[in-house]
């Protein structure tokens, strides 16, 4: 897969980054390298993604979600989010950050899994 960008879902008051990718098996992947390309090659895809993220929980009787912005981040910004999240995961695994949510970490190897 190739990262194209991300959308920021606000879930119970916290930011939940939704990374948007294209599968390398997609017939159009060679022409889609950014969110701009995605919308140009597959018009309406971004609007459908935004709509789905807003309303997918309503089938469970929950209210609509909120997005920080309906404009996706760039590929570069999404990669920065992924790198920062990976760094924080490694800090959690290494005990450098408190495990305040009680994540199960037994047997987890983090370093070097990039």
Compute the average pLDDT of residues 44-55.
Answer: 95
Calpha distance 92→111 (Å, rounded) = 11
Shortest CA distance to 56 belongs to which of 13, 107, 9?
9
pLDDT in tens, 52-91: 999 998 888 888 889 999 999 999 999 999 999 999 888 8
Q: Looking up tokens 């309906």, which residue turns up? A: 70
pLDDT at 106 over 90: no
Q: Which of 24, 27, 23 is nearest to 41 (CA)?
A: 27
pTM over 0.75: yes
| pLDDT tens column, 27-37 | 999 999 999 99
Residue 89 CA to residue 13 CA, distance in Å, equals 21
pLDDT score at 39: 96
Instruction: List the one residue out of 112, 13, 92, 7 whose CA is nearest residue 54.
Output: 7
CATH 3.90.80.10, applies to 2-93:
yes
Tell me how long the chain is.
114
pLDDT at residue number 73: 95
Q: Where are the domains of the chain?
A: 2-93
* Whether residue 114 has pLDDT greater than 50: no
């Amino acid at each position: 897969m190739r990262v194209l960008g991300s959308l920021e879902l606000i879930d119970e008051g916290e930011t939940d980054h939704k990374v948007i990718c294209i599968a390398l098996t997609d017939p159009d992947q060679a022409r889609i390298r950014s969110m701009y390309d995605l919308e140009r090659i597959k018009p309406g895809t971004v609007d459908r993604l935004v709509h789905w993220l807003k309303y997918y929980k309503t089938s469970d009787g929950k209210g609509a979600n909120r997005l920080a912005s309906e404009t996706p981040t760039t590929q570069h910004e999404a990669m920065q989010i992924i790198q920062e999240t990976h760094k924080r995961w490694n800090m959690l695994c290494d005990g450098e950050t408190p495990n305040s949510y009680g994540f199960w970490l037994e047997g987890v190897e983090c370093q070097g899994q990039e």
